[in-house]
Amino acid sequence: AQSVTQLGSHVSVSEGALVLLRCNYSSSVPPYLFWYVQYPNQGLQLLLKYTTGATLVKGINGFEAEFKKSETSFHLTKPSAHMSDAAEYFCAVSDPGGNEKLTFGTGTRLTIIP
Amino acid sequence: GAGVSQSPSNKVTEKGKDVELRCDPISGHTALYWYRQSLGQGLEFLIYFQGNSAPDKSGLPSDRFSAERTGGSVSTLTIQRTQQEDSAVYLCASSSSQGATGYTFGSGTRLTVV
């Protein structure tokens, strides 16, 4: 069975500061990994994904994440936070080759301090 | 259509009533998924359709929940005898043959049971 742990249900950073949202996963097979963002009263938007190949993946809005197999981690970073980054962020894992349902973490609410 | 459409966007119902939630996937997407987003619980997988078949119903929380898909397109999630714990946002996603790497989520239906 797969699982995802997001450390920190709430994270606050100052505008212009580094954003770091943590995600660790458990999977019996090499997983596909995802970060989604959810703005208030909206659906989920894909930020970035890792499937195979390069372990550092770049996504939209200046976000990136690095797949570290040895640490079973897929942390999300952005060098400089912007007010518009305030949202809830979800890490997810899927089992490639299965029915590819997503197993989500419980989410991290990011607040940007002006 | 251009995106995944869910209706209604909001539904308030009395405890004990039945409700139907609708999902219109992206045209041509063969896979369709239902998820539930509860406060503090993150997102939970409910059911997966491939075409009109549901090979994975493992996430349906009780026999009060059922879903169908017709014509390989529209899906309906039905909750019978609603309970207050059913209050949540119900999200639908569709995908082409790319599976989890090609998900598009709808904006969800917010269900409130009073």
Place of tokens 């797949």: A67
- Is B55 in Cβ contact with A94 (below 8 Å)? no
- Contact status of A109 with chain B (Cβ, < 8 Å): no
Q: Is the pLDDT of residue A29 over 90?
A: no
- Is A96 in Cβ contact with B45 (below 8 Å)? no
User: What is the pLDDT averaged over residues A24-31?
Assistant: 85
First to last CA, chain B: 33
Helix (H) or strand (E) holding B6: strand B5-7
Strand pairing partners for B111? Answer: B11, B88
Q: Tokens at residue A50, please? A: 């890792």
Q: Tokens at residue B38, please? A: 């509860």
- Contact status of B34 with chain A (Cβ, < 8 Å): no
Mean pLDDT of chain A: 92
- Contact status of B100 with chain A (Cβ, < 8 Å): yes
- Is B100 in Cβ contact with A102 (below 8 Å)? yes
List pLDDT tens digits, range A60-102.
Answer: 999 999 999 999 999 999 999 999 999 999 999 987 776 778 8
Q: Tens-digit pLDDT profile for chain B (114 aa)?
A: 579 999 999 999 999 999 999 999 999 899 999 999 998 678 999 999 999 999 899 999 999 999 999 998 999 999 999 999 999 999 999 988 656 667 889 999 999 999
